[in-house]
């Protein structure tokens, strides 16, 4: 490939503009006031808090928050469950918050996991970031930890959030694509926003196509503060770690799941809880001081950055268990309202500019979506501890306050609520800077951690990232957008850029983007992988077992028992839901009929078939596809003598993932992982 000498664009890492001879319209507020800076919120100092007087930020986000009624604008499709959190290690040295100091206390929780881009009626399994929101009903009030399954975000400042979501949503002139980022407007915005490329690496990785909601991580994303009894502050980042470990699908499998089962992830979570296989997450924290933060080679207030675990190790402090499905999907899963501003005494916010905007935006959204400032009285949102204040009336007021006093201070009513010395106190942070629409220089490095994430992946995962970007850009019609993306990738990793360019058939390489700050070569962080962190377990998985007329009952029972012993589920599949007569003449009913049970919904597959049935089934496309898809999706395949004949006829090559179930131990071992070596056959 040859390299062009000229860029079609220029930028400094914070501002990026296409060169054009056309005269653009002036950007204004709804009142016609010209906007001089649409990239940064008004702050008190470069790293200070965002100011409420920023009428441009408030107007822009307020309008955005009210654009959809009543469906959520983002995170519309979600699944949720009740459970509890139990503290196992006290943080009394760092905070007075009781949920972090009273070891052994069980706190009720409601957890909602969602896709971001699609509407409420979209599918479960697109390539997308997953929201991970937990409402904890503590003795001191409700705490909402509202994050994602990715620890970083696309933008640094909340003023850009409406632009990001407008770009990723359906294109407004045509109303598609739904629940997908593979289109021009998204990649146009991304290619003009260098700060997004760290999150792009995550979104194009296997993190964005999870196998199960029970097998994803959750991150609070932002730095928060913990305040101890002496008023001292410690920064904290929150991590939810699944006990089952991380698991993802492969891309072809994820795409086929969209037609096989639109509710695949929702069904998986619901059925696991319904069967008593309760998912669990450890809550871990990263704790660091202001002085330690100053020594980091990045700014922890920048939401496009993470703190590597090798730099600040994780400390596990408790466990969340989800053990009860909602009684009513609308009343609970749909009406639950999460707000990052819902925190407790002993906590406080950092000056992360994205977090600062979210503190306003989420509350404003609930007022629009749920129709009333009294949304906190809906049962799923109501605190489980006593609460009282002087707020009155309003649409859908359900309380009946008594007495003549609706203000504070007062002297006319002895039981009227008053402020308390044990209530919430903000951290006393001093500033000595001027206000302005600014962004600190410490936010200007957009590529170092993007590069670190990519080089930290296994070769298999790196290949998946490249293939994902190729797929996305193949859906982009505008050549200039594709070139801009490649130019950014060249800064991250030249081999990655070349692979993507080759994948989309680019004849000439653009110049590498001129970064505002030269990327640093940060050390690899194995903690960022999925494959390297996979647990050697079959627990929580599902195996499909195909049987037919004359199948061996003893072999079926023996196989079912071995799978159950591993903590997995075995589903019986037949060509008819009524099942078939086995070798002993007994009728065995199937759990699922094969037309409605493609192998994409299972983690491994097994065939228990007589040679006669195998010969018959080899002529059925649905059977051939069932085994071939399992093979292509790198899954373990178990077979008896009859099924082995069928596999030979289909053309499935034998490897360590194809096992005779006379040796069930070998099959179980192979079913605990995917067989990545097969990918070379299909690349």
31 class by beta-carbon count within 10 Å (0-12 exposed, 13-18 middle, 19+ buried): exposed
pLDDT at 69: 60
Q: Which residues pair with 148 in a beta bridge?
A: 131, 219
Span 320-336, average pLDDT: 96
The C-alpha atoms of residue 185 and residue 476 are separated, in whole angstroms, by: 9
pLDDT at 12: 39
Residues 496-555: tens digit of each pLDDT: 999 999 999 999 999 999 999 999 999 999 999 999 999 999 999 999 999 999 999 999
662 neighbors 640 (Cβ within 8 angstroms): yes
For CA atoms 247, 251, 252, 257, give the dihedral sign. Answer: positive
Q: Please state which CATH class domain 42-377 belongs to.
A: mainly beta
Residues 247-270: tens digit of each pLDDT: 999 999 999 999 899 999 999 999
Where in the chain are all domains bearing CATH 3.40.50.880?
Answer: 536-682
Does 75 qualify as catalytic in the annotation? yes
Q: Which of these ranges, 139-148, 409-418, 569-578, has the smallest mean pLDDT?
A: 409-418
| Set 40, 75, 183, 239: catalytic member | 75
Where in the chain are all domains bearing CATH 2.40.180.10?
Answer: 42-377
100 neighbors 226 (Cβ within 8 angstroms): yes
Measured torsion, CA atoms of residues 576, 577, 578, 581, in degrees rounded to the nearest 10: 60
**Angle 10-16-17 from CA coordinates, rounded to 5°:** 75
Q: Which residues pair with 79 in a beta bridge?
A: 113
Residue 226, classed as helix, strand or coil, is strand
Where in the chain are all domains bearing CATH 1.20.1370.20?
Answer: 446-532
Q: Which CATH number fits domain 446-532: 1.20.1370.20, 3.40.50.300, 3.40.50.2300, 3.20.20.70?
A: 1.20.1370.20
pLDDT at 32: 78
Span 287-310, average pLDDT: 97
- In this predicted structure, the answer to whether residue 1 has a pLDDT above a threshold of 50 is no
- In this predicted structure, the answer to whether residue 632 has a pLDDT above a threshold of 50 is yes
Residue 641, classed as helix, strand or coil, is helix
pLDDT band at 430 (very low <50, low <70, confident <90, very high): confident
Q: What number of helices (H) and strands (E) belong to the chain?
A: 18, 24
Which helix (H) or strand (E) segment is 268 a member of?
Answer: helix 264-274
Residue range 536-682, CATH number: 3.40.50.880
| Set 40, 82, 142, 148: catalytic member | 148
pLDDT band at 22 (very low <50, low <70, confident <90, very high): low
pLDDT at 24: 78
Does 228 qualify as catalytic in the annotation? no
8 neighbors 192 (Cβ within 8 angstroms): no
Residues 226-240: tens digit of each pLDDT: 999 999 999 999 999
pLDDT at 67: 77
Q: Which of these ranges, 18-22, 215-219, 562-566, has the smallest mean pLDDT?
A: 18-22
List alpha helices for 277-425, DSSP H. Answer: 290-294, 353-369
The C-alpha atoms of residue 175 and residue 183 are separated, in whole angstroms, by: 12
């Amino acid at each position: 490939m040859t390299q062009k000498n000229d860029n079609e664009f220029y930028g400094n890492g914070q501002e990026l503009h296409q060169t054009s001879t056309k005269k653009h319209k002036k950007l204004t507020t709804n009142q016609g006031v010209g906007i001089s800076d649409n990239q940064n919120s008004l702050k008190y100092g470069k790293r200070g808090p965002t100011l409420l007087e920023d009428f441009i930020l408030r107007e822009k986000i307020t309008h955005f928050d009210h654009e959809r009624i009543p469906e959520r604008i983002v995170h519309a499709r979600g699944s949720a469950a009740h459970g509890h959190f139990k503290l196992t290690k006290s943080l009394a040295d760092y905070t007075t918050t009781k949920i972090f100091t009273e070891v052994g206390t069980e706190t009720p929780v409601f957890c909602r996991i969602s896709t971001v881009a699609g509407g409420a009626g979209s599918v479960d399994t697109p390539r997308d970031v997953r929201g991970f929101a937990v409402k904890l009903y503590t003795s001191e009030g409700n705490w909402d930890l509202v994050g994602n399954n990715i620890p970083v975000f696309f933008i640094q400042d909340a003023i850009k959030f409406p632009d990001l979501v407008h770009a990723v949503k359906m294109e407004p002139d045509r109303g598609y694509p739904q629940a997908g980022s593979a289109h021009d407007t998204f990649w146009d915005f991304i290619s003009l926003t260098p700060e997004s490329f760290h999150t792009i690496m995550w979104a194009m990785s296997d993190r964005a196509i999870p196998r199960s909601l029970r097998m994803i991580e959750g991150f609070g994303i932002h730095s928060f503060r913990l305040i101890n009894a002496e008023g001292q502050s410690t920064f904290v980042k929150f991590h939810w770690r699944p006990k089952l470990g991380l698991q993802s699908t492969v891309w072809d499998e994820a795409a086929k799941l969209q037609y096989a089962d639109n509710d695949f992830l929702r069904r998986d979570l619901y059925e696991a809880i319904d069967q008593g296989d309760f998912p669990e997450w450890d809550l871990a924290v990263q704790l660091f001081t202001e002085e330690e933060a100053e020594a980091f080679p990045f700014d922890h207030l920048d939401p496009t950055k993470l703190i590597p675990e090798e730099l600040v190790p994780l400390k596990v402090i408790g466990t969340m268990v989800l053990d009860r499905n909602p009684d009513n999907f609308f009343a609970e899963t749909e009406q639950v309202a999460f707000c990052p501003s819902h925190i407790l005494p002993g906590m406080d916010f950092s000056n992360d500019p994205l977090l600062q905007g979210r503190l306003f935006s989420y509350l404003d959204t609930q007022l629009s979506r749920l129709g009333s400032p009294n949304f906190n009285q809906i049962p799923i949102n109501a605190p489980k501890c006593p609460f009282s204040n002087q707020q009155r009336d309003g649409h859908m007021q359900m309380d009946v306050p008594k007495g003549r006093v609706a203000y504070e201070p007062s002297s006319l009513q002895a039981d009227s609520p008053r402020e308390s010395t044990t209530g919430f106190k903000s951290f006393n942070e001093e500033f000595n800077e001027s206000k302005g629409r600014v962004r600190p220089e410490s936010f200007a490095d957009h590529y170092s951690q993007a590069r670190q994430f990519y080089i930290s992946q296994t070769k298999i995962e790196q290949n998946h990232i490249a293939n994902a970007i190729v797929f996305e850009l193949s859906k982009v019609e505008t050549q200039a957008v594709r070139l801009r993306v490649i130019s950014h990738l060249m800064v991250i990793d030249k081999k990655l850029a070349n692979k993507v360019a080759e994948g989309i058939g680019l004849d000439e390489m653009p110049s590498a983007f001129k970064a505002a700050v030269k990327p640093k070569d940060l050390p690899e962080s194995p903690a960022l992988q999925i494959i390297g962190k996979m647990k050697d377990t079959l627990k929580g998985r599902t195996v499909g077992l195909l049987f037919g007329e004359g199948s061996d009952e003893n072999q079926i029972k023996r196989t079912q028992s071995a799978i159950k012993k591993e903590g997995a589920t075995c589903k019986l599949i037949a060509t008819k839901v009524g099942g078939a007569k086995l070798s002993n003449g007994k009728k065995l009913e199937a759990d699922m009929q094969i037309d409605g049970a493609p192998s994409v919904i299972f983690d491994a597959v097994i065939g228990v078939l007589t040679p006669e049935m195998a010969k018959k089934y080899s002529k059925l496309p649905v059977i051939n596809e069932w085994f071939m898809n399992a093979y292509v999706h790198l899954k373990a395949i178990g077979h008896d003598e009859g099924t082995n004949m069928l596999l030979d006829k289909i053309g499935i090559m034998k490897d360590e993932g194809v096992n005779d179930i006379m040796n069930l131990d070998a099959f179980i071992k192979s079913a605990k992982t995917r067989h990545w070596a097969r990918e070379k056959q299909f690349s």
